[in-house]
Structure 1
Amino acid sequence: MLAQHQATPLAVIPPSLKSSKPLGQQHLEELLPVDLLTRDNVSLMNLKEAEDQRTAPRVGVQCRAMVLSSMQSEGIGTILDLSRNGCRLESQLLMLPGLSLELRIAVPGLEWALIIDGADVQWVDEDRAGLAIVRIRETERQRLGELVAARLVKGADTGDRAQGELIPFEFQGLEAVLAKDPQLAISKGLAWFAQDQAEFRFRGGSLLGRAFPTCTPEFAAALAKVVNAGGGTETDFALAILQNYLGSTSTDDVLQEIVSRFPQDARKIDQVRTIINTTGVVSGEFGLANAWGVKKESLRRWLTDERPTVTGFAAQHMAELDQMIMAERRRVEAERELRERSRHEDENGHDHGYRPKPF
């Protein structure tokens, strides 16, 4: 990675704002917030000052995100850390201090993307920016708070191993061996799971994810066999492994086996729903609703299963997805109407008085 240094606004001012005439200080003050200007030149907010503004603990993550702004329609980025008040974003999108962004963050383990309606850019350093969360619905704020709290607890319990995919030294080089033999991989995985279930996902589970970056038919069949022949522990092991393939239909046979074996186990069934519902990064206003529509259609194959518990679950979850899709479409339409109303007010000279908030 290139060495980071504090960028200047001249490097990131969009072409539409540039002029053939030399830019004077007065013109720059029209483009950038006053508190970002220095006496002799123009510079971005001091990064140390931005660090000092943080008022809530944050956790390191590596989550893909869809980013929407008024200057560009949409793009992709990576969230590097999160707190209840803000985050750090890495993206090739044009980012300027004071710009407000919308974020749709794909978090492994969450059924749908974490939605932040307004995150204001506080500072920019090359392709990274510090964002302050200024608009977020209460339900999303609760989800964000729970996510941060869970990561903080995991970090305290494991020395922050939850933030990466750390593989024990003695496991190094095993990926190539295990990749050739699904049965051996599952046998070893079960032994590691029995030793430390809490840490398995970040150690042995991560190793198996590297050995099998996609859930091959052979690997899925071996997992389904373990669930069929085993008990609760073996099924919890399979669910931990499936966290590597969230949202992929390649795991359907394993999920159907779990539903068939444990239809009354709410915890296991909830995990099955989460694995099915996870969409990853979506694009477009109705991207999430459309992605859930695809999930619903993929469940039609479940309706042909001969086991009543499987078909019953599929029918119920398809109905749940219908409700989720309708609610998401209503939310998007309400936000679109709000944006149009706000745009109309802006065109009529209303000043909403933007003030960057510390995070």
Structure 2
Amino acid sequence: MSFFKKFRFVGGRIVKTGIAVFVTALICHFLNWPAMFAVITAIVTIEPTAADSIKKAFVRFPASAIGAGYSVLATFLIGDSPISYTFVALATIITCNKLKLHDGILVATLTGVAMISTVHDEYVSSFFIRLGTTVTGLVVSSLVNLFVMPPKYSDTISRRIHTLFMKAGEILTNRGKELCCSQSTDKDLHKSFHQLVKEIEYTETLCTYQKDEWKYHRVRKSDVQSFHYEYKKLNLLRQVTFHIGNLIYLPSHHYRMGQSKTELIMETIHLIRGIFYNPNFIISNEYNSKIKEITEWFADQNSFIESTEMQEKSNFSPETIILYELLSIQELTEELSHIHLLESNRNNRLGNIQIQSPQKQITKNQSSTKARTDD
């Protein structure tokens, strides 16, 4: 399978689809069954995880039976006509919706419509042959998804999380410049923020896929622990994004700050961005110093230059909100650094154990050899 990895456009799911289609068509060829319906089912049944394939197979089988049943009925009553195709499609969709077989609507409708032109006088045998081809496609695809190139999302999740932290740092930096210069939010920045939220949601979906995949495969404890740490980072990223969103939608033209305070905010934001870009999320002494100044500024409410207009509408000035959001992101950043440190320490311990184990085995073998020689 390593051959396919040389081609970026050929992913694991594409390879598994090709294998499932070939095996399904081969079985139908030996059984002298029409392979078209089985192949359609096999293509549709390949899901991102084996768990999804197995779960949806139990939905697609009865749905396919409904589609085949309507096809046989329409052909018997009306024959091969436009009304038959319309009736089978609508009746299958409505029935599957009523029975909540949503995941099977597509394959059931395709099966029912495609059967009309192939059903002649042998209605009962045609019905059971279609069920047989459907079962073949479902079983083959589920087994291929289960045993051939089982997906591993952990590495992808880890890379995506770090990339998304860097994107969050960029968005925070750009928004900080707008706030400090009293500029309105750029439309592209809004788009970037919404794209970041979507990518976080997709990463969450990958985490769900990985947990579902582990239900059907043996997994090492170390892999589960690594995934646990990455999932914690993802939760922190989601919270950081929430606070960045508050800054995105904060009006930025109702207040002004002195140059020293503006520089302090931007320096702090740049340091946070630097931590997000660091693979180890290391916190510097300069960062701690700036956060201390921000904290003192936040505590000293009398040092804020508040806008009279905003004072009448809210108990919190925009400066107070900015400082609060920055301090919230700061706490999450420190927790992120702490989690990554724990993960690194665990990986180092595992590495030492793996190095020491072969050495102990060699020492044990040498001792056994020496004991036999003495005897």
Give the alignment's TM-score, normalised by structure 1.
Answer: 0.26
Structure ranking higher in helix proportion: 2
Greater length-normalized contact order (CA 8 Å, ≥ 6 residues apart):
2
Larger Rg: 2
Give the alignment's TM-score, normalised by structure 2.
Answer: 0.25
Structure ranking higher in strand proportion: 1
